[in-house]
Structure 1
Amino acid sequence: MSTSINAAHQQQSLPATLRCIDKWFETKDCVSILLSAENPSPFKFKPGQFVTIGVEVEGKAEYRAYSISSLPNEQSLQLTIKRVDGGKVSNYMVDHLTIGDSLECLPVAGEFNNIDYPPQSIDGQKKVLLISAGCGITPVFSMARSWLAQSDGVDICFLHIARNIEQTIYFEQLEKMHQQEQMFDLKLLLKDAQSSGYPQGRLTAELLETLVPDFATRTVYLCGPSQFMLDVVSYLERLDFDMANFHQESFTPTESETIEDTSASSDSVSIELPAFGQNLQVSKGTVLADALEQGGVPIIIACRSGICGSCKCKVKVGQVESSNHSPLSEEEIAQGYVLACSSTIESNVTIEL
């Protein structure tokens, strides 16, 4: 880890070392891992949040963000990781991580959680609708478990969309919760239901209304692939749902190895990095994160979705165009901080890490 990281970025970038103490398959292409520190102590986080994990792959430190699937205040941390097409880190974790291996772990992050955004009491009852698809189940599963563990009377409807039973993450646990917990109602929608007894089809506004008739009286928490979330938002708006009672995870893990086309413009601009004594020449319009990574600058780029904040840096001179600032405070934005993964270079710039 570079010693030239500035004070504003230091707390976020200093990792803890955790060891894998258990690993098991949830589905054929998805594993859960259990992590613990050398001197275990309760992990503090809010259900729905995530951590950024660092691992060495092919001789290079790589970082990716993963939602936490365990409960707060336990002495181990559970992450659930699904294979991704072309995913360097996730596929390494699925295929090669073994019990006893050590990983770096950055501090917990994420605004999507059920503590800062608790369910509203509607008609005297706290009722929630958790909607997820694929590996988006992870943070809302943690939320559901936390409400049930607290026994605070939250009525939980859990709507999950999956391809089939075999590819439904946590399927046995979900069924057990449905059978044993009075306040937990599982609504599983499958693309191929086979003989499972669960409904089959694609989620639509009409089907949402059929599966969860009282959705309008619930606080909704949503997580899944980007297009899926956009579709669900459109369904809720079409059904006149009160979006003041809606919360979604804006972080969707992505690990595509495809590099953005940096030749979109023939104009050449420079990136000055005084702390590293470097000057990089790139095309105008290049994503700042890609330019720094290709230039060998030691910057952590974890979620690549503009939500984890691991690639925060400061533009001292020049101009970038940023599409997302969500993890940054108004004060940080005013000071010139940007997210490298969500910023394109528009002029000669001087960057401070």
Structure 2
Amino acid sequence: MPRKEVLRIFESVCRSVHRRGLKPIPFRFSTLVDPFPPHEELYRFSEYVLKIALDYEQPLIINTKSIKVVEIEGVKKLVEELLGRGLAVLQISIPVLDDVKARIIESIAPLPSKRLGILKVFNGCGYPTVLRLSPYIPTVLPTNEEEVEYLVGFLKDYGVKHMIVESLRIEREFMESIIKLLGISDLGFEGYSLREVSGLKPIVRFSKELRIKCYEVLHKYAVRSGLGFSTCKEGLFRFHTSDDCCGAYLLKDKDYVLRLTLWDIYRVGINPVKQELSDDLIRSVCRRFSRLCSEELSEYPKIISKPMKYHEKRLLRILKEPEVIKHIVPDLLEI
């Protein structure tokens, strides 16, 4: 789809939600690609997105590794205004703290030291920022108590409000290559994909036992220092401390709405294997946590309501599949 068409659709959705007086759903900006690539200075595509979000008071969860967010004056000014009005949360992702090792993992991305400098720029004005330890590799990123205590203290001094950890997921052969290049021992892997697909190489991640061991330490010091803490795509909800995993709770006055997630099912204390999930029960969960679900979705533009309805149906279907739950959200089965 042409970029101009994407902008037109985004503006149309934001305008429609704003004019209907609906609570906006925070947009993630972005997921698979960085929102501020090197050619942003030439095309200004993301700058237009930020301007549209500001015009229609559309909340954004901005996730970036790029120093362009502070180098391009127009982008920096818009991000500051969005943050200042409580319409955005800025997430900065780092894979390691060491600049040399970073070149092995993310060879063309800005160095971690420069990315941490972004936090300093925006936190100096008191804006809400989040650090993503992603992709998290045990022993490469802070793992033991001394390292984690230093990291959390450092983040606290920088004014970071929330920390997210997301373990590395990659094809097995590349995982083994990275481990070798980083000079660390075999840490133990497990399959990530639910099923193997012909023609596609299987994805692996670090074992559940290792991840739990590492996250226990990170969680302990985050709580001790007053930082919000969550995991991403791990299903280890025992470590979550906030209303949502992305840091949307840092937006202004709850003037937004989120969709129903597995995290909401977990924190209400429902084990879907032991308890039948009726429509009334799901609606009660939505009301309790002010989540958008069921018939309320129809009030929103079809281009976003349709995929969100599919997401809800898929979520409810997953809750009826114990083997899938065990794989993607193991903590649900321990309630």
Q: TM-score, normalised by structure 2?
A: 0.32
* Higher strand content, 1 or 2: 1
* Higher helix content, 1 or 2: 2
Structure with the greater alpha carbon radius of gyration:
1
